[in-house]
Structure 1
Amino acid sequence: MNTFSRRHFIKTVVAGLTGICAYYCVSNHKVYAQSSSIPTNNKHILVIYYSLPESDSNLNEHRENSTVTIDNQLLGNTQYMAMIIQAALKNTDIFRIETVTPYDTTDHAKLIEQAKNELNNNYRPALKQINNLDQYDTILFGYPIWWADLPTPVYSFLSQNDFAGKKVIPFGTHGGSGFANTRTTIAKLQPNADFRGQNGLTIYRDRIDNAKNEIVDWVNQLSLV
């Protein structure tokens, strides 16, 4: 299961991953990570992703693996994947889905139970807003798998935004279930989108550290730029 997992046993979390803009280095790529607003430019491709790196120091890499450390920065697997995609697309725009009320990432057991309860009760957390979505005609949409389903913040996002007429290609990370049924779910929630679920890419969490070339090859095969 890929429900709120973790790559490394880390005692402390580097502050500032949520709610700020920063430059991250992905191998030889500099990546501009935009957390809550989108710049306006002449590009029409947008990378949207949801990721929630845990900071529970009682976890270890053999139990749960949904984080990766790059240049001493703790990143979620899907976050890291999104950054590689952005760089491969010549630093196109990127947006991170964020909840108004942050999740407590310090207790793994409570976190996965909260995720299960939210899904069972069809809970939809409030989100920070996205701007200028209309200017994009292609969206690469990334997320981890929660209990073989979409994360509840992703449900919120899909219910609040209309992808009609836009090409939407999914990507993400998982703990053994692949995309599960999430591509079917997205297609139902966005019936007017040009949803290319068959062109999506999902990476097993234990492989994310060494998956950069696979991700870049996938982006290149999409022929978006």
Structure 2
Amino acid sequence: MRILLVEDDTSLGETILAWLRLDGHAADWVRRGDSAQTALMTHRYDCVLLDRGLPGLSGDALLAALRTAGNPVPVILITAFNALADRVEGLDLGADDYLVKPFELEELSARIRAAVRRGASRASNALHHAGIGLDLETRQASLHGAPVALTAREYSVLYALLLRKNGIVTRAQIEESLYGWGDEVESNAIEVYIHNLRKKFGSERIVTVRGLGYRLTQDEAS
């Protein structure tokens, strides 16, 4: 998943950013609300971690603008404001969740998974297609129930394919899910990850659509 972190505390921002990348996510970090607004206009994110007290544009104002514009991206407010009235106000503004500082990083990961799951209207923590399974809680992949070991990048590519299992996933969409700002994108990296997934799940399961991208084959007959 690609996550936008909006936090003006340098120490906390560095800690969360490192954790998100260790957890296998592509993550971008901005310190101002107006910078976050620009990022959200130019990139697609699976989740936003948003501080309320920000320079340039407050987190509350940014969240209100997102919801007024009809942007459904899951937003988790991360803030030191811990009064009941503060939490109610944040949720009423359109936040999907509210996490009070300080918090455990493992809990942050769980909150992200839950917010994204709700945003995608999924009732479970798993994605399935044509015998391929992906457990979003444990990050375990499987083929007909048998575990398949994946690297963090292979997991992200498979996640992108399964999210759009009935359509074509472009190279740009895969890169968006893999790389944050400043990450070096190797010219043949996507092809390497697709090649590795084909070796692990079967070459017939991922089809190259020339000039467009990749797609999963249709569900197997039951």
Larger Rg, first or second structure (1 or 2): 2
Q: TM > 0.5 between the two?
A: no
Give the TM-score of the pair, scaled to structure 2.
0.37
More helix by share: 2
The one of the two structures with greater contact order (alpha-carbon pairs below 8 A, sep at least 6) is 1
Give the TM-score of the pair, scaled to structure 1.
0.36
